[in-house]
Amino acid sequence: MGRERQKGGPLTTSNTLLSGQTSRRDASSSTLPKYKCHLAASTSSRTPASSRRSAKSCVVVSIVEGRGNARGEIGLASMDALCSYLRISQFIDTASYTRLRIQLQVLDPAEVIVPDTSMDKSKNMTAVTEVIKNTFPSVEVTFVARQYFSDQRGVQLVQQLSDDESSNITPEVLQKYYCMAATAALIKYVEYVQNVLFAQSSLKITYETLSKVCFIDLTTMQNLEVIERPGITAASSRSLYSVLNKCLTDGGVRLLRSNLLQPSTDAPVINARCDAVQDLIGDQPKLERLRAIISGACDIQQLVTVCCYLEKGTTSIQNAEQKLSQVLNLKDTLNLIDPLKKALKSSRSTILRACCEQLDDDRFESVINVLNERLSTNVTMVQKSSFGIRNRRCYAIRDGQSSMIDLARRAYEEMINDAEEKAKEDTAKLPDAKLVYTAQRGFHYSVPCADPLSVLKLPPEFIQVVRHRASVSCTTRELIKYNDRIAVAVNEIMLSSNAIVVGLLSQIRASIACLYNVVEVISNIDYLISLAMYAMKTFTVRPTFSEANALVIRRGRHPLLDFDSGDVVPNDCVCFFF
């Protein structure tokens, strides 16, 4: 079902806040998302998330501050533009906005949106804006018309979009004026810049009370070397985060970073995590099995998000291809649930047992059955080449689901065969040439040429010659025509497949809560495995808690001291009133 869109003027004003000017996206790119999703084509040979993630975050944060007597009360909402998890909070801050600075450090946003103050005589958001720009100079600050910071609209959107099972929204939360105002603007803005429309009851919306956590100011974070200092790359410096980070998934990376920058002060939570790490250390084969299973999981947070989008206008070929790839990767990831359950069954710790119970849900079987009914079982194999990736998409839908797909696929196969036959004739004139395929150029010929300065004489029918380091690529007019015809067939397959995928996603959406559980389970396991791997390779100690609830660490040390050349003398530490 669709939902009524709020009408109004331009959403954003210029980032430089010039009076009377508005910032509109170029019409030629109006359908392209601002933050783009980069998904792996296959689910094997995964590298650690810390090394493959883009340096740029995709988190967008919305901030609004109270006016008059309510000044200092902050409403905050944050969402990764590529995910469907919305975090909201409201708190009273100090005059220097200490708590806001900490929250932004934890969230690591790419962009912050604030109300446009050009028409506001009180200028109360100016101080917040200056704090953001001075503390986080690399973060983009965008001014949004104040009319979109509407608490009433925020309440409506939260009630419409939140999945009740996954969210923790209560009537008390809906009464938080500034929190709801920030939420309304954020949802509207993300839909605008990403050119999407969220489906009803699809988002996981969590209100964070920020209780039982330790607030660490930015200076202390840097002095303790919890994370890398701004402007210094991870390769040239060490930090607690870089030492502990062995995560394979983006969710695990985010959880590790959040727990380091804003650690829990809840003794039962800390003990439960220690039990889980100890459980993994004591059963190394289980740890290796879990890590191997998780290494085959795509970033499921982004995969779940595709279920939250409604069709908005005409779908482009690029969007159809991406959506189809996401659904295929979702199917591959869900097939890991059974192996994951079996690996967790022998767990003794509370957290790992809870993860196993979350995976014991009949809805997973229903979702997998829905996917298997429409998707072919022969396309989940590893595909690394550009041609293999395209074939994976073209043959994703089962035969007999659509006559248009079947006809286009038959034409596609015939033209591929014709192109290969023509290539045999052409390569007979160039014995060393071979037919290759790339996503940018399609089918063309590659001729080895070890000497880049040598003169290579080609027959006149070979055109569009491009010299590379160790080869020369070229094509023919006939091959160009085949590429054009193949592209038409592929586009027809993609658009027809998209219609089936849309119906498929609408069926899965009813069970989206169980998919959010998978996200949580995989992130937690990845995070705990990362800690266990460090503890296995390094001498570590477990903290204890006294009857007075004091934290006691015996013979502890900062992990970065292990990299010093001198001897490290461990110390005892007692933290009272913990």
pLDDT by residue (tens digit) across 401-414?
A: 999 999 999 999 99
Tell me which residue has tokens 């689901």.
Answer: 401
The arrangement of strands across the sheet holding 140-144 comes to 12-13, 140-144, 111-115, 59-65, 73-80, 85-92, 204-207
Tokens of 397: 């839908």
pTM of the prediction? 0.88
Residues in the chain: 578
Structure tokens at 330: 């979702």
Question: Per-residue confidence at 469, pLDDT binned at 50, 70, 90?
Answer: confident
The stretch 304-329 carries a mean pLDDT of 90
Rounded distance between C-alpha atoms, residue 510 and residue 370, angstroms: 12
Check residue 6 and give its pLDDT.
44
- What proportion of the chain, given as a percentage, has pLDDT over 70? 87
Using the predicted structure, report yes or no on whether residue 119 has a pLDDT greater than 80: no
Instruction: Using the predicted structure, report yes or no on whether residue 284 has a pLDDT greater than 90.
Output: yes
Q: Are strands 544-545 and 551-556 parallel, antiparallel or unpaired?
A: antiparallel
Q: Is the pLDDT of residue 202 over 60?
A: yes
Q: Which among 321, 91, 114 has a CA at the least distance from the CA of 215?
A: 91
Give Cα 250 to chain centroid, integer Å. Answer: 6
Spatial distance between the Cα atoms of 63 and 183, rounded to a whole number of angstroms: 9
pLDDT tens by residue, 324-339: 999 999 999 999 999 9
pLDDT at residue 453, as a whole number: 72
Q: What pLDDT digit, counting tens, does each position of 80-90 carry?
A: 999 999 999 99
Find out whether 72 and 94 touch, Cβ atoms under 8 Å.
Answer: yes
DSSP letter for each residue of 423-452: HHHHHTTSTT-EEEEETTTEEEEEEE-S-T
Element (H or E) spanning 59, and its range? Answer: strand 59-65
What pLDDT is attached to residue 288?
96
Closest by CA to 183, choosing from 174, 196, 192, is: 174
Please give the pLDDT value at position 449.
Answer: 87
The half-sphere exposure of 443 on its side-chain side, counting CA atoms within 13 A, is: 25
Confidence of residue 74 (pLDDT cuts 50, 70, 90): very high
Output the average pLDDT for the chain.
87
* The residue to which tokens 């006559």 are assigned: 403
| Per-residue three-class SS string for 364-400 | HHHHHHHHHHHECCCCCCCCCCHHHHHHHHHCCECCC
The pLDDT value given to residue 110: 95
Domains and CATH numbers, the chain: 35-217 (3.30.420.110), 403-499 (1.10.1420.10), 539-575 (no CATH)
Phi/psi at 124 (5° precision): -70, -25
Burial class, 401, CB count within 10 angstroms (exposed 0-12 / middle 13-18 / buried 19+): middle
Q: Is the pLDDT of residue 4 over 50?
A: no
What pLDDT shows up at residue 380? 55
Residue 511 and residue 307: Cα distance in Å, rounded?
10
Give the range with max mean pLDDT: 209-223, 236-250, 279-293, 540-554: 279-293
Taking only the tens place, the pLDDT of each residue in 36-71 is 875 544 444 445 554 444 445 799 999 999 987 888
Helix, coil or strand: residue 329? helix
In the prediction, which pLDDT does 92 show? 94
Tell me how far apart the alpha carbons of residues 544 and 556 are, in angstroms, rounded to a whole number.
Answer: 12
pLDDT band with cut points at 50, 70 and 90 for residue 5: very low
Q: Terminus-to-terminus CA distance in the chain, angstroms? A: 49
Give 567-575 contacts, CB < 8 A, sequence gap 24+.
570/541, 574/550, 575/550, 575/551
